[in-house]
Structures are given as structure tokens and as C-alpha cells.
Amino acid sequence: MQSWGVWVDGALYFESSDQTRWARNIARDPRVGFGMQLGDMTVYGEAAGDILRGVDRKLAARIATQYAAKYGRAFKYRPKPEQYEKGPVFRARLEKHLVRSR
């Protein structure tokens, strides 16, 4: 499933409800595969996923800042740190990756 995400301290953070099917799947089996593209560069990877609830203020602020920097200009998306302090945020910690360019 496609999802917006941001990198913070070498981990990929992404948002959603913890009631979705894929959130239940991550809770049951933490293996996550992902792919990203920027211009002619592509990254594919495997990660261990988990669901965090109530992250500390400092990490919540860093996640919100990254989302605003990445999606704020084009989509006017600027989440507040409280979103991550109160609700779930998903984290994928990289285990393997492959980078390709054309």
C-alpha cells in the first residue's frame, strides 16, 4: 500500500490508523517491504515494522518537521507534534536495501 513517509534517524516513519488491515498485519508480522523513487534514483528495501503509540516530544517534533518539509509546500500538510505524541505512528527500521539509478 502506498503511504507518505519520512526518514528520521535512519528509520522510515509513516502515518495511518492502527485499525487498517495493513496495521493489523504489521502487528502480526513485522516484515515490511518498500520502494521509493526520486528522479532516476530508486530505493527498495526490507525493514522491521512496528507501531509506536505516544512517542516522546522530541521525536514527535522531528517527525512533524520532516513531514512539513517534504509535503508542506506542495500539499500544505503541516502536522503538529501532538499528533504523534497522542496517536499511533508506524516505524520501519531498515534491514536490507538496494539503490538503483537508470
Max CA pair span of the chain: 42
List beta partners, residue 44. 35, 98
Instruction: Find out whether 60 and 81 touch, Cβ atoms under 8 Å.
Output: yes
Q: Is the model's pLDDT at 102 over the cut of 80?
A: no
Length of the chain: 102
**What pLDDT sits at residue 85?**
93
On whether the CB atoms of residues 63 and 8 are closer than 8 A, the answer is yes
For residue 97, give the CATH number of its domain: 2.30.110.10
Structural domain including 57 reads 5-101
Q: pLDDT by residue (tens digit) across 52-69?
A: 998 999 999 999 999 999
Could you give the number of structural domains in the chain? 1
Angle (nearest 5°) at CA 78 between 73 and 80:
165
Q: Reply yes or no on whether the pLDDT at 34 is more than 90.
A: no
Confidence class for position 78, pLDDT limits 50, 70, 90 = very high
